[in-house]
């Protein structure tokens, strides 16, 4: 992805919908060039084209959610990937940041095995030659493109890892990290028993949202990778619970 592609996603994150002409003026290029950029991003499922416009549709699954705050998510994924060593086996649950993490691992690490219940992640990195993907079976949830349920948990029992990376939908001090889907939550809780450390990947804005179901309690989390706009009160709370916090700049280019 080029620097201009990332800046286009930033502009769409802020405005959700932007005219092609406005994007061309913003980046001092022709509308033909912008249309080619948007064609590329649309092929990746990151944006949607309308007549004279480009937009991000957050209701349209994991792929378009990846486009929202793409640059922040990418920085979080890069920082998390730096903790993984060559030859390691990692568990990765479904989320847009987790997909970017998996992409970085197969691009930059040697002989890394990714165990996941995310069909989306497997599809996202399928064209990258490095890395080994093991998909866990189970009931397929179409919207989130993950497998869940007892079969997924049973398949996961045979795999052990030092790290289990998960994405979350929100946070509550009374419980910990939360989500929206009870079957996904149950699956995460069961898979958590197969890893030494649970690592949460989360944008800071999600700390202001409490999901409807608990994913993992704060005292079970080893580390949180987020950006530098995490609320100070929550950062202090996590430190008091011995959770390591790694922050990336929200404004870095």
Q: Along the 253 residues of the chain, how does pLDDT read in single tens digits?
A: 787 887 888 888 778 788 999 988 888 999 899 999 898 888 777 788 888 888 876 655 665 677 778 889 999 999 999 999 999 999 999 888 999 999 999 999 998 999 999 999 998 888 888 778 999 999 998 878 899 999 999 998 888 888 999 999 999 999 999 988 888 889 998 898 889 999 999 999 999 988 789 899 999 999 999 999 999 999 999 999 999 999 999 875 5
pLDDT of residue 57: 63
Same fold, 3-59 and 70-248: no
- Sketch the domain layout of the chain as residue ranges: 3-59, 70-248
CA distances (Å), origin 90, targets 42, 80, 156, 174, 197: 30, 12, 12, 29, 10
3-59 belongs to which CATH class?
mainly alpha
pLDDT tens by residue, 238-251: 999 999 999 999 87
Residue in 178, 221, 226, 176 with CA at minimum distance from that of residue 201: 226
70-248 belongs to which CATH class?
alpha beta
CA distances (Å), origin 209, targets 36, 50, 137, 171: 36, 31, 30, 6
pLDDT of residue 13: 75
pTM of the model: 0.81
Residue in 230, 210, 223, 218 with CA at minimum distance from that of residue 82: 223
pLDDT tens by residue, 143-195: 788 999 999 999 988 888 889 999 999 999 999 999 888 888 899 988 988 89
């Amino acid at each position: 992805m080029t620097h201009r592609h990332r800046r286009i996603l930033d502009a769409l994150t802020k405005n959700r919908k932007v005219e092609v002409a406005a994007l061309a003026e913003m980046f001092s290029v022709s509308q033909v060039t912008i249309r080619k950029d948007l064609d590329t991003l649309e092929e990746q499922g990151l944006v949607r084209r309308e007549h004279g416009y480009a937009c991000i549709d957050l209701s349209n699954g994991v792929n378009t959610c990846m486009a929202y705050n793409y640059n922040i998510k990418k920085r979080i994924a890069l920082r998390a990937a730096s903790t993984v060593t060559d030859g390691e086996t990692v568990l990765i649950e479904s989320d847009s940041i987790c997909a970017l993490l998996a992409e970085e691992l197969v691009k930059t690490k040697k002989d890394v095995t990714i165990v996941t219940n995310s069909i989306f992640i497997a599809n996202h990195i399928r064209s990258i030659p490095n890395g080994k993907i093991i998909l866990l079976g189970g009931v397929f949830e179409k919207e989130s493109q993950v497998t869940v349920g007892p079969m997924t948990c049973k398949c996961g029992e045979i795999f052990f890892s030092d790290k289990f990376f998960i994405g979350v939908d929100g946070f509550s001090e009374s419980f910990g990290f939360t989500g929206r889907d009870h079957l996904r939550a149950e699956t995460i809780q069961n898979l958590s028993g197969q890893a030494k450390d649970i690592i949460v990947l989360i944008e800071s804005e999600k700390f202001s949202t409490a999901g409807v179901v608990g994913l993992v309690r704060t005292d079970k989390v080893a580390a949180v990778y987020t950006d530098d706009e995490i609320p100070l009160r929550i950062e202090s709370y996590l430190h008091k619970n011995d959770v390591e916090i790694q922050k990336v700049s929200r404004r870095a280019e």
